[in-house]
Structure 1
Amino acid sequence: TKRFYPHSIGNVREGCVHFSFCLELMTPAGEHVNEKGIRFYNDLIDKLLDNKITPMVTLYHWDLPQVLQEKYGGWQNVSMVDYFNDFASLCFERFGDRVKHWMTFNNPWSVAVEGYETGEHAPGLKLKGTGAYRAAHHLIKAHAKVWHTYDMKWKSKQKGLVGISLTADWGEPVDTSNQEDIRAAERYFQFYLGWYAGPLFHGDYPQVMKEYIGRKSGQQGLGASRLPVFSAQEKTYIRGACDFLGLGHFTTRYITQKNYPSGLGDSYFVDRDLAELVDPKWPDPGSEWLYSVPWGFRRFLNYVKVQSYGNPMIYVTENGVPEKKYCTDLCDAWRMQYYKDYINEMLKAVRDGVNVKAYTAWSLLDSFEWDEGYSQRFGLFFVDFSSKNKPRYPKASVQFYKRIISSNGFPNQREMESWKRKAEEACFSSNQLLAADPLRGHKEMVSEIVVPTVCTLCVLLSAIFFMFLLRRRL
């Protein structure tokens, strides 16, 4: 219950904060309610409301109890649907009088693909060609059951909304006059966002997923498709189980057709028959996967609108940019530029008729970025993880983003330049505070100079000693 990863603070229309509950609201064995955890989140929610900040809560953000993974195989097992529904019901009961915006899952694509296909994230399984599809199948069922539970038992009393947060990049055809590239970009979208949005809005997986995975499965000599099948009853149950669509978006890829040979083996990535490319001219803020491509955000939002989802109510739940590894410069001009460009493209999409209701930035604080650890910093506030008390220092983007929120957009170019100038002036004092930490310089010297030097000397001494022993034996 001590783990708290606040995703963001601020909203183009009203103050809000999007954060995740961890599943430690239950004891490790899942037998009892952890009342300390309940008190923690009660206090947090009350404090937000006292400060006129609307809480938007994600129920699951990669935090499956280890006992459920070890005993049942995690999301490979359909029993997770009922366990997750029990957990969600507890949250509705204890917090639903104050929380009115619920998201069942954050980025289930990554939970399934990187957790059960590539093994990059927990639980680290590499069940290529089957694991991601099976996990996603159960995640979708779990979402639908929680939505129905809330709809039947809590909605009339609590007047809240239940949605899901899906993360996806935009895929732009390499050659917009080439039909194969256009179809490849469509597959990219459907294998990414449509994988989950399709069942929730239409009751079934996208047709292109069923065709491609089914054909690949046949070529591999399998009797049935590796993509699971929803029964007619399940399709009816799942369709429409979404009050709003949460969207996380960070970057864009160019997409081109690529035909993978049938003998390459089972894989979600092979099933798509496409290649992802980036333009080397795109600004690279320092992450190996995230490039700043603002125009892709508007195209992404407009494409969601026309995908026969009924122009759903959209909450942008994640959008932001990290800084280069170990960077401690709090005057983050690149982040201010990223937010300016991406929010502006989102506002253009609103003018296009896209039903965007809210925007939240990723993230309020530097936090633990999964397999990247603390090396990638997305926060508006710098967190000194090397210090025992984890002090926080505002970056320039804090003041800049604060002014965007208060103005609900961008008044004019001259005023915006004034915002940036004032934000950069404010961050100098934060830089001075950070630099003034009497232990910081010593810590950096130890971690960056002393430790590597000592390790190198130890290796050299070991090698010399080993050679000495060999010579004595000879």
Structure 2
Amino acid sequence: AYLDEMIENGIEPMINLYHFDMPEALQKQYGGFESAHVTDLFARFARTAFELFGHKVKYWITFNEPIVPVEGGYLYDFHYPCKKDGRLAAQVAFNIMLAHAKAVREFRALALESGIGVVLNLTPSYTRNDSAEDQKAAWYADLFFNRSFLDPLVKHQFPKALCEILAAHDCLPEVTKADVELITGSRVDFLGVNYYVPRRVKARESDYTLDYFTPEFYFENYVNPQGRFNPYRDNNEILPQAIYDIAANIRDNYGNIKWFLAEIGIAMDIESEGEPGEDGVIDDSFRIGLMEEHLVQLHRAIADGANCFG
């Protein structure tokens, strides 16, 4: 009934199957996506959803921001299970891609007249300067945070350099040839893109002191002294130009796959929004202006050939 109501009112539903919501029972019993068994359970869940709603929904998404559970749960301690283990992070990343591929396989088996894709949070990496060292730092950041999922899921190949780095740090996940081939042989019909903030990096200038591997072994994060920042929360940098750069990267390096902008925005605390006026409306001109700036960059990218459909 809910989907019918949306469609009757001219709203095209998109169903996303996973948004950081591992069932507690599966996390406790199997370790969530630490376990390959859970990838089979995810595929069964996906097929059930496809069978129930596939005749009504034209756009299916397997995962939203699949790298975030890896970062938060196994590298940077901001998502459950709050572990710090580079090898386990790589295993979870691989298993999430495997779960995605198994869900896509179930989708294809049903021959639905709709499409399936994945939503990735893509973050362009910008350097402190044009030195070779800083350029290499940005290359590493892009490899870990963008290409790690983009290449297998869109280009159908795991980056050789990433595999070599993980091997050098004893962080290669346990895989089978069949699972690798399932991932690289899988095809998405479209890509979703989330963007909030840019990544600024520089070559490492201090020793790496953590006792487990993270991507920052190869670079340091950097704050642009000439940057423009969100004054209301976290002081995150504001860079609408990044939308254009993301679009150009997809156009030039990923076959200009069809994609849509799933999330953009800016975080603000409730206190910073102010009190509603007499008409009950909050003055949201700051955020509205930022949205407009980002969409201007998106339309510029479309004019330059980006295959963005929404």
1:305 corresponds to which letter in structure 2? R
Contact 2:73 2:84 in 1 (8 A): no
Distance 2:236 2:94 in 1: 28
Flag the structure with more relative contact order, 1 or 2, with Cα contacts below 8 A and sequence separation at least 6.
Answer: 2
Distance 1:137 1:287 in 2: 33
TM-score, normalised via structure 2 length: 0.90
- Specify the SS of the correspondent of 1:316: strand
Structure 2 match to 1:46: 4
Distance 1:233 1:78 in 2: 13
Alpha-carbon offset, residue 67 of structure 1:
0.6
Structure 2 match to 1:58: 16
Alpha-carbon offset, residue 214 of structure 1:
2.5
Return the match for 1:161 from 115, 126, 129. Answer: 115
Q: Deviations over 1:87-124 (max 9, x none)?
A: 11111111111111011111111111102323311x23
Structure 2 match to 1:148: 105
Q: Deviations over 1:445-471 (max 9, x none)?
A: xxxxxxxxxxxxxxxxxxxxxxxxxxx
Structure 1 match to 2:308: 356
Alpha-carbon offset, residue 77 of structure 1:
0.7
Structure 2 match to 1:127: 84
Number of aligned residues:
301
Distance 2:235 2:47 in 1: 36
Contact 1:286 1:325 in 2 (8 A): no
Alpha-carbon offset, residue 276 of structure 1:
1.8
Structure 2 match to 1:326: 271
Instruction: Provide closer, same or farther for how the CA distance between residues 184 and 207 of structure 1 changes in structure 2, counting only shifts above 3 A.
Output: farther
Distance 2:47 2:194 in 1: 25
Structure 1 position 92 matched with structure 2 position 37: no
Larger Rg: 1
TM-score, normalised via structure 1 length: 0.60
1:306 corresponds to which letter in structure 2? D
Task: List gaps (5 residues or longer) in structure 1.
Answer: 1-42, 218-224, 359-474
Contact 1:203 1:235 in 2 (8 A): no
- Counterparts of residues 74-473 of structure 1 (less than 5 Å): 74-121=32-79, 123-153=80-110, 155=111, 158-176=112-130, 178-215=131-168, 217=169, 225-228=170-173, 230-239=175-184, 240-258=186-204, 261=207, 264-271=210-217, 273-280=218-225, 281-288=227-234, 290-307=236-253, 309-329=254-274, 330-358=282-310
Q: Deviations over 1:401-437 (max 9, x none)?
A: xxxxxxxxxxxxxxxxxxxxxxxxxxxxxxxxxxxxx
Alpha-carbon offset, residue 285 of structure 1:
4.2
Identity within the alignment, %: 25
Q: Deviations over 1:37-87 (max 9, x none)?
A: xxxxxx221111011010111100111111101111111111111110111
Instruction: Provide closer, same or farther for how the CA distance between residues 230 and 347 of structure 1 changes in structure 2, counting only shifts above 3 A.
Output: farther
Contact 1:285 1:321 in 2 (8 A): no
Distance 1:340 1:232 in 2: 46
Distance 1:104 1:353 in 2: 27
Q: Deviations over 1:266-296 (max 9, x none)?
A: 222334x112223243131422163211112
- Specify the SS of the correspondent of 1:237: helix
Instruction: Provide closer, same or farther for how the CA distance between residues 201 and 103 of structure 1 changes in structure 2, counting only shifts above 3 A.
Output: same
